[in-house]
Structure 1
Amino acid sequence: MSELEKGVNYAQEYEYDEFGYTKTQPSDFSVGIPDRLRLASVIVLLTELCERFTYYGSSLMFTTYLNKQLNQDRNNAVSINRGFTFLAYATTLLGGYISDEFLGKYKTISIFAIWYLLGSALLSVSAITSIAMGTRLALFIVSTYVFIAFGTGGIKANVSTFVAEQIRSGYKPTSEPGVYYDSRLTTERCYRYFYWAINIGATTGILSCPVIAKRQGYDIAFATPAALMFVCILIFIPSYRLFYHKKPAGSIFAKIIRVFKYAKKHKSASNAHWLDAAKGVKDAEWNDAFIEGLKRSIKACKVFLFYPFYWALYNNMTDNFINQGLRMKRPSWLESSQLVVVSSVFLIITIPIFDTFIFPFLARKRVKLGPIKRIFIGFIIVVIDFIFVTVLQKQVYKTGPYYDFTGPDVTNDSFNNISIYWQIPIYITQSISEIFASITGLEYAYSQAPTELKSALQALFLFTNAGGSLIGLLLSRWSNDPEVLYNFAAQTCIMALVTALFYYCFRHYDEAIREQVTYE
């Protein structure tokens, strides 16, 4: 049993627990710094690394595999891929519900990981060329939609919360007066390295699996991620005693409904917020801290409403960007899907730089870069990225010999004489947007939720990617040449408007977040 599992008798204000932390910000607090990550968090990061190898190593081949091996046209390939992505993120709600209501995070992650492994193995079977084409397509749909999508969704909803739960909460003094280890900043660091682990796994999967497919066949290429999923299980399940385990709260949604009913019935004009009517209720199953956390969660959900548009653009990386690359000149050794690795490699390099130098430098200079401002910056960057994407697509169509690929001699392998390396700025710019928008979203979801709602709010944040996939699914009918140019242009314009509206709606939220100085 870990030290945290033995329990901590948290003291009152300005008293410190056995680990040296206090829940309330000390009066001499001047600046906060992040603490180092515990072994339990590192093990979860390694688990996520292996799972992301499995996910990206497989899914980044789906579009090409469907198009070239299962004879699906580009519209169908993009539709099937976006449908899979939608399910993978929609099922996070199921994973969060099961964890919070019944099993807890450790058991939920373990069960869904085993289900995921079964799907990965079945996916490999679907690529055996001696099987009839119709059967192979059916096996592909079952393995991806029923097994892998549910498996990754169940894991996603919980692993991003579970890794942060291993962080000790509060403020801990350092040797320098007024400088404290601040668990909010440790959580930010944790999520940066969580994203770092994601991209190491993604990079190795993206680099290796297409090469294996080219040399050994898709059956072996899909079997390789399955093997890494097995390693993921071997790392995670035996580490039970190292983890801090929070028991499932049980019936949290029913509790929220009761709070809503009570507050609605007793609200008055004197309440600053309508939920304040549920505060100070004697013998209630909730306390005032839960009400404050619920209010923060509702505000967070409003922020999350804008994320589907961001993800709709981001998810082009797994299909339309690959299709764009297939229409460009590239070396014989390079698969179009492999260029996605530029984004992951850039993140692997830059996340430690942001964590070690850039964000600490801004903190020392008292630059207030709150989560809303960071998300806004991420949205701006992705708009700039898509302006370039649209211009590049126009240049592809202006270049011969096939121009807009509407001629009678065009095949799936036809391409124009414009280098695929022009796509590199797309992936670099998109990765910078992830540092500001995606990583911040994970950290924001965790920090704003009360203890009982952390998995649920993480699941809701991840569910926004399902919304993005749904938008992409609606737009997938315009994924063929030359309509994809107008698809890119429309997405750019919509995201620009969404970004402006986002800042207008939430520009004052950061100040309220900075005033949040206590811990549950």
Structure 2
Amino acid sequence: MGLDGESKNSHQLYVAPTEGILVENAESLSDTISYPSNNEISSSNVDLIVENENIEQVSDSKFPPSIKYILGNEICERYSYYALRSILTNYLINFMGYSSKNASSIGHGFNAGAYIFTLVGAYISDGVLGKYKTILYFSILYCIGAAIFAITAIPGVTGSGPGDRSPWGVIIGLVGIAIGTGGIKPVVSAFCGDQFGPHQKKLLANLFQVFYWCVNLGSFFSTIISPILRTNVGYWCAFIVPSVILVIAIIVFVLGNNKYVKNEPQGSILKDCVNIFGYALKERIKKLIQGKKYNDSYYTGSFYDRAKAKYDPRTVEQLKLVARVLIIFIPLPFFWSLFDQTGTRWTIQANSMNRHLGSWKIDSEIINCVNPILVMIFVPIFEYGIYRPLEKRNINFSLLRKMGTGMFLSVIAFYISAIIQVKIDNSPPESVHITLQLPQYVVLTAAEVLLSITGLEFAYKNSPRAMKSIVMAGWLICVSIGNIFDAFVIELIELPDYQLSLLFGSVMFVFIFIFIIVSYRFKPIEQKTLDELNGDIPSIYDNYNKEIENATPLNDLTSSVDSSHNTNNK
């Protein structure tokens, strides 16, 4: 399993999948970024090494003046998001009176909605409003949703007590927050990249190193501060503070209005790919109906070939290659279904544990701050303590092997969680200490570092440049599907908690074997094919638009891929 040679010279391109950054030509991952803990990724303009000829020439040693406004906005927004998400489950249980099952399902539904709306934000940014207006308008909607949600936490506003309170304020608030944060996620980091010229690539990498440490620290502190405010003042205070910070975020962002580089929307590749798929599907149906009467001159073995009759063949071929890569993503929804339970079922598990540290009783949500801290620790440890030593010994720990290892570790984490739950069930109430949760967090964070970074790095390396946003869209859909899967399983299947953990872990274990099969069958894409599709070298597509009327059916470029399988991948 794995791509031959990926562990060699693999320090050319690194991604931060949780915040949607792609940095090329970095010395190493840890030299470039420390990425945050939640799987928040972008589907728009993920290659942020931009080539904008309209950018004012600025010093290579100083950030553009607009950056401080974007960075200030992002830090405030991320703090607000993590502050709300960290206490959402317990709010729904303790304040609104929902069952643990319903609270978990709502939490996963909220996560799924947030990632679905990133696709909407990406499309609007690329094809309708542009980045600045998209960030501004979605931020306002986000702020309104957060304010409505905060109002529901004021005692007496929605009802007299748990179980009697109206759910409509919660529903409207969460929908507004999901749309707002989803619309912002794919755009902010890309807007950052637009502020830099091609001569500032190194400076851009330095910015994102600072950017991600700030986001990680924001996540860490919000996960601590929000539960403390909830315990000592009330839920209303814990939610109003993020709402006020969101207002500050908008003000900071607008203050930089006159300093931003604002590129006009150029159209969305997501829309183009949907149109190609729709046309290919329509032609496939016509082929089935007409049989031999159908003119199938464009078909050379792929479902998408028939779309070349109407759409740019280069784009069709690019989509065909991405479709091959996205097959590797098949098991990913089930990884994210495990990972995102840290904020729901693992928080509920912590509620039933002994949370005393000396005379101090910690809040159950605070243990979630372990994840961002471990991420910042594990990234350099894995890079310098595992990846590079293995490379020096010519041990091929390829990207696909890292992903498979990450999936396996996620299974182990949930089996550990099941064992801890059995101990909780067989012990007096609140007698099992919360520190026993640490091993499952350590193992799951290691799984995240192994899979999350390398998954997108693998996809980018094997995809044409123009299709980076499609890769991100596939990743986002995986996160949403995983959370939808969680919500349905938790609602529909009646099992003790430890058996539910075993079930989720076992589903992931089954999909590890599917991952092994698709990885074994995956054939690396020839660099020449990628160069042709990227337009880096001459190809048969260069003069297509001039000769479209006389064009003859094109050969399937990916046939060269099918004939080139390196046995070292297996």
Q: TM-score range by the shorter chain?
A: 0.7 to 0.9
1:110 is matched by which residue type in structure 2? L
Q: Is the 8 A contact 1:310 1:495 kept in 2?
A: yes
**Structure 1 residues 192 and 423, CA gap change in structure 2 (3 angstroms):** farther
Q: Which moved more, 1:238-247 or 1:58-67?
A: 238-247
Q: What aligned pairs does 1:462-501 form with structure 2 within 5 A after superposition?
A: 462-477=476-491, 483-501=496-514
Corresponding residue for residue 120 of structure 2: 94
Q: What aligned pairs does 1:236-247 form with structure 2 within 5 A after superposition?
A: 236-239=253-256, 241-243=259-261, 245=263, 247=265
Partner deviation per Cα, 1:92-122 (whole Å, 9 max, x = no partner) = 2222222232123332222211211111122
Alpha-carbon distance in 2 for matches of 1:499, 1:170: 43
Partner deviation per Cα, 1:419-450 (whole Å, 9 max, x = no partner) = 11000111122112221222334555666665
Q: What aligned pairs does 1:111-510 form with structure 2 within 5 A after superposition?
A: 111-133=137-159, 134=164, 137-145=167-175, 147-159=176-188, 161-162=190-191, 196-239=213-256, 241-243=259-261, 245=263, 247-250=265-268, 253-254=271-272, 257-258=275-276, 261=279, 271=300, 273=302, 275=304, 286=312, 288=314, 290-331=315-356, 332-354=360-382, 369-399=397-427, 401=428, 415-443=429-457, 453-477=467-491, 483-507=496-520, 509=522
Alpha-carbon distance in 1 for matches of 2:460, 2:261: 18
1:267, distance to aligned residue in structure 2 (A) = 6.1
Corresponding residue for residue 25 of structure 1: none
User: SS at 1:328's partner residue?
Assistant: coil
1:438 is matched by which residue type in structure 2? S
1:341, distance to aligned residue in structure 2 (A) = 0.6
Identity of aligned residues (%): 25
1:356, distance to aligned residue in structure 2 (A) = 7.0
**Structure 1 residues 153 and 259, CA gap change in structure 2 (3 angstroms):** closer
Alpha-carbon distance in 2 for matches of 1:305, 1:141: 31
Q: Is the 8 A contact 1:89 1:153 kept in 2?
A: yes
1:465 is matched by which residue type in structure 2? V
User: SS at 2:167's partner residue?
Assistant: helix
Partner deviation per Cα, 1:298-355 (whole Å, 9 max, x = no partner) = 2243233322111111121111101111111111431111111111111123335556
Partner deviation per Cα, 1:383-435 (whole Å, 9 max, x = no partner) = 12112111111121222x2xxxxxxxxxxxxx331111000111122112221
Alpha-carbon distance in 2 for matches of 1:365, 1:266: 55
Q: Is the 8 A contact 1:196 1:351 kept in 2?
A: no
User: SS at 2:265's partner residue?
Assistant: coil
1:504, distance to aligned residue in structure 2 (A) = 1.5
User: SS at 1:499's partner residue?
Assistant: helix
Alpha-carbon distance in 1 for matches of 2:228, 2:142: 23
1:319 is matched by which residue type in structure 2? T
User: SS at 2:431's partner residue?
Assistant: strand
Q: Is the 8 A contact 1:93 1:456 kept in 2?
A: no
Q: Is the 8 A contact 1:91 1:150 kept in 2?
A: yes
1:48, distance to aligned residue in structure 2 (A) = 3.9
Q: Is the 8 A contact 1:373 1:510 kept in 2?
A: no
Q: Is the 8 A contact 1:308 1:466 kept in 2?
A: yes
Corresponding residue for residue 107 of structure 2: 81
**Structure 1 residues 65 and 261, CA gap change in structure 2 (3 angstroms):** closer
**Structure 1 residues 259 and 313, CA gap change in structure 2 (3 angstroms):** closer
Alpha-carbon distance in 2 for matches of 1:96, 1:456: 11
- Structure 1: give runs of 5+ residues left out of the alignment: 9-17, 20-34, 173-180, 402-414
Q: Which moved more, 1:159-168 or 1:341-350?
A: 159-168
Q: Is the 8 A contact 1:161 1:455 kept in 2?
A: no
**Structure 1 residues 512 and 452, CA gap change in structure 2 (3 angstroms):** closer
User: SS at 1:321's partner residue?
Assistant: helix
Alpha-carbon distance in 1 for matches of 2:62, 2:451: 23
1:6 maps to 2:6: no
2:89 to 58, 63, 76: 63
Alpha-carbon distance in 2 for matches of 1:484, 1:514: 49
TM-score calculated relative to the size of structure 1: 0.76
Q: Is the 8 A contact 2:132 2:262 kept in 1?
A: no
Q: Is the 8 A contact 2:307 2:316 kept in 1?
A: yes
Q: Is the 8 A contact 1:320 1:479 kept in 2?
A: no
Q: Is the 8 A contact 1:66 1:77 kept in 2?
A: yes
**Structure 1 residues 132 and 231, CA gap change in structure 2 (3 angstroms):** closer
Corresponding residue for residue 407 of structure 1: none
**Structure 1 residues 113 and 507, CA gap change in structure 2 (3 angstroms):** farther
Aligned length: 463
Alpha-carbon distance in 2 for matches of 1:47, 1:137: 30
Alpha-carbon distance in 2 for matches of 1:372, 1:42: 37
Q: Which moved more, 1:488-497 or 1:135-144?
A: 135-144
- Structure 2: give runs of 5+ residues left out of the alignment: 1-48, 285-293, 536-570
Partner deviation per Cα, 1:115-144 (whole Å, 9 max, x = no partner) = 111111222211111324255532122111
User: SS at 2:432's partner residue?
Assistant: strand
1:80, distance to aligned residue in structure 2 (A) = 1.9
1:252, distance to aligned residue in structure 2 (A) = 5.4
Alpha-carbon distance in 2 for matches of 1:348, 1:58: 22
